[in-house]
Amino acid sequence: MNARSDGGEERSAAEREKEARRAYRERNAERVRAGQRAWRERNQEHIRAYRAAYNAEHREEVLAKNREYMKRYGPRKAAERRRKEAKRASSKKYYEAHKAEHHEYSRQWQARKRAEDPEGYRAVRAKAQRRWWQRHKDEYNAKLRAQHRENPEPKRAAARAYYAAHAEELKAKKRAYYAANRERVLASNRAWKEREKRRLDAGLPPRRIRTTSGEERRANAAAADAFFTRERTPEEIAAMRHTPGPAVELLQGTPPELVAAFERDSTRARIAHALATDLSYADRSRIAEARRHLAAQQQAARSEQRDAAENARLDAIGRQVNDRLRHKEPPRRRHHLDPDPATPHPMLNPNTPRGMNR
């Protein structure tokens, strides 16, 4: 009866202690986490060595866990991606159905915020615009360039008007730039003249850059589509087939370096397409990364073991050398009159009434 009661009291005491620890952790969660972080920072080397030793000892178990994790990771990421795409499509569909209501709510919200705090509203709007510009500046600049190619006249008219209003200022700025970069400008002019001279010596026309208007580009594209997409008549096909080709001696093979470059580019394109469309490649890359990390940890553990063994070997050699070369006192012979070997020799401190000691 007493044994049972003692066992119950011990269990209840253990449960009370466990409950007290849990309550302490709940009350001092931040303090406990801070202490754990500090301990990990102080013992990084110890943690690294422990993990390396554990991975080396349980290599197959760690690899099996990594494989299982990667098997679950791929489908989970695919499901998460599908969920996000479905949510995005649903949000877009809802917005299209309630666009007017959304715009009205946005206008009311902006008017309320502007009335409550005009300065704060302007600051928030400026910050949002800067953030949008940082994310979309390349896209916006490309859009402006496309608009200029389609219709360059508005920008040219604005440039002419600005130059007419600031002619002297622009001339002074140009003279100042030339004075500060005279050698650079002259070198650029010499390079241009030499290039044009080589073109004329080679029988080529002078290089002239002329932009094509949007209307001319659209006409060229329409003509190209009409030429390449129209169906050929049987007579035209027969004429093209029976047209004599160039002589064999005039044909030149493609240079090997161009063929090699084309094959490399094609291989890279196929690899990029496979990595972008096949999730198994991503899983394999993650597994390979995990294996490389584990191999590095095992290599570090083996290096530490080799260093420890080498240090132990050098210490043993040092001890042997020290034992061999260290000077040792010869053992004292026991005097025949001394009953105790620990007593000093009688001649070490003579005490006689004769001679110089008298």
Tokens of 183: 């050698």
Tokens of 109: 């919200």
From CA 281, how far away is CA 346, in angstroms rounded? Answer: 92
> What pLDDT does residue 357 have?
47
DSSP 137-188: HHHHHHHHHHHHHH--HHHHHHHHHHHHHSHHHHHHHHHHHHHHTHHHHHHH
Do residues 74 and 283 make contact, with C-beta atoms less than 8 angstroms apart?
Answer: yes
From CA 158, how far away is CA 234, in angstroms rounded? Answer: 55
From CA 39, how far away is CA 276, in angstroms rounded? Answer: 42
> What pLDDT does residue 304 have?
86
From CA 73, how far away is CA 280, in angstroms rounded? Answer: 11
From CA 129, how far away is CA 117, in angstroms rounded? Answer: 18
> What pLDDT does residue 210 have?
66
Distances (CA, A) of 278 to 267, 272, 290: 16, 10, 20
> What pLDDT does residue 237 have?
85
> What pLDDT does residue 165 have?
94
From CA 90, how far away is CA 81, in angstroms rounded? Answer: 14
Q: Within 13 Å and on the Cβ side, how many CA atoms surround 48?
A: 12
Do residues 186 and 193 make contact, with C-beta atoms less than 8 angstroms apart?
Answer: no
Domain range list for the chain: 1-31, 101-151, 166-207
pLDDT by position in tens, the chain (length 358): 455 555 566 678 888 888 888 888 888 889 889 999 999 899 998 888 888 888 888 888 888 888 888 888 888 888 999 999 999 999 999 999 999 999 999 999 999 999 999 999 999 999 999 999 999 999 999 999 888 888 888 998 999 999 999 999 999 999 999 999 999 999 999 999 998 888 888 887 777 766 677 788 888 889 998 888 888 888 888 888 887 776 666 677 788 888 888 988 888 888 777 777 766 666 666 677 777 877 888 888 888 888 888 888 888 888 888 877 766 666 656 555 555 555 555 555 555 555 444 4
Of 212, 106, 199, the C-alpha closest to 150 is 212
> What pLDDT does residue 153 have?
86
Please state, as a whole number, how many other Cβ atoms lie within 10 Å of the Cβ of residue 66: 18
Do residues 167 and 232 make contact, with C-beta atoms less than 8 angstroms apart?
Answer: no
